[in-house]
Structure 1
């Protein structure tokens, strides 16, 4: 079954607000609206989302474009970084590098990459089992766990070289299509503006 994983685009960063509660910025919201308007997602698709605000806002926009409902699951959340909370950009990038480089280590108390990978893969498998034959599935989520899912499907080791920041738009709002049963990627991370309808469905 072909599925699509889409990361939330740009967010409103606020060090005084828990990261899971951050919402889309004006730019991020417009990118999501433009993506939904391109008819990438076919009618009848099932839309799944992390319960983090930014992912749900993306999912609501995509779902509204085809008259669908959004099914949320907290197990689709980004890797748990609550041990450190908000980090300044330079320190965040350094810590994220270590997260991917040492997947079996809890970096500064973060959820281990290997555990986050098992979580997202299992959650996507469970969700796909509920999708009717012939229907499409769209997952609205986050960059790190999306990358871990992509590594699994492609049979590649966990590496930040696979991260959306290395292939797509650095502000997020990237996607890849995949077939989990066949363990095959339809494409690498691609900015939502560049993703073509023929690559999914």
Structure 2
């Protein structure tokens, strides 16, 4: 069985709205629509940008939602300007056992995303047509998942190359099949 772990594509950043309610930008919609899920079973985080990405990559197939696939809980700070956000992300990855500015700890988010992937796609979870499942989630938890799959420490070096990226894994042997690849923009 193969799992395609897809991160949501580029959103419209709306600083005054809760991050989980942000939808996709025109570029994000185009990127997500340019890639099709290779199986019928698509499961998304409950955040709007992930659901919209999942609906586009599913190409009309039903999309399930699972709250365990959500991004790192950063509701303590909400939106942060880029430079401030980037510094907090550095600290989040550098100190995974600490809550940085009230954010969910990296070790807790990693435990949650690993458990979610195993529950949704591991042995006994069933699979979609074609023997696999597409999970649409978020970049930071994807980096934490990648660290688990490679047996390496939590580090920012595991981050996706950009929003709207995909990696593949075997949930039974718990190994990485391919690293991050960016979903293409249409020509």
Per the TM alignment, residue 61 of structure 1 is displaced from its structure 2 partner at its CA by 1.1
Structure 1 spans left out of the alignment, 5+ residues? 195-201
- Any runs of at least 4 consecutive aligned residues in structure 1 with deviations exceeding 3 A, and if so which? none
| 2:132 maps to 1:139 | no
- 1:29: which partner in 2? 29
Q: TM-score, normalised by structure 2?
A: 0.92
CA–CA distance in 1 between the matches of 2:132 and 2:85? 35
Structure 2 spans left out of the alignment, 5+ residues? none
Per the TM alignment, residue 69 of structure 1 is displaced from its structure 2 partner at its CA by 1.4
Higher helix share: 1
Q: Could you tell me whether the CA contact under 8 Å between 2:35 and 2:183 is conserved in 1?
A: yes
Per the TM alignment, residue 46 of structure 1 is displaced from its structure 2 partner at its CA by 1.1
| 2:95 maps to 1:99 | no
Q: Could you tell me whether the CA contact under 8 Å between 1:49 and 1:71 is conserved in 2?
A: yes
2:156 paired residue among 141, 144, 160: 160
Per the TM alignment, residue 120 of structure 1 is displaced from its structure 2 partner at its CA by 0.7
Q: Could you tell me whether the CA contact under 8 Å between 1:46 and 1:131 is conserved in 2?
A: no
Q: Could you tell me whether the CA contact under 8 Å between 1:153 and 1:180 is conserved in 2?
A: no
CA–CA distance in 2 between the matches of 1:175 and 1:141? 10
CA–CA distance in 2 between the matches of 1:185 and 1:82? 30
| 2:45 maps to 1:54 | no
CA–CA distance in 2 between the matches of 1:75 and 1:116? 9
Q: TM-score, normalised by structure 1?
A: 0.86
CA–CA distance in 2 between the matches of 1:123 and 1:26? 30
Report the RMSD for the aligned CA atoms in angstroms. Answer: 1.5
Deviations 1:150-182 (A, max 9, x none): 111111110001111xxx23xx01110011221
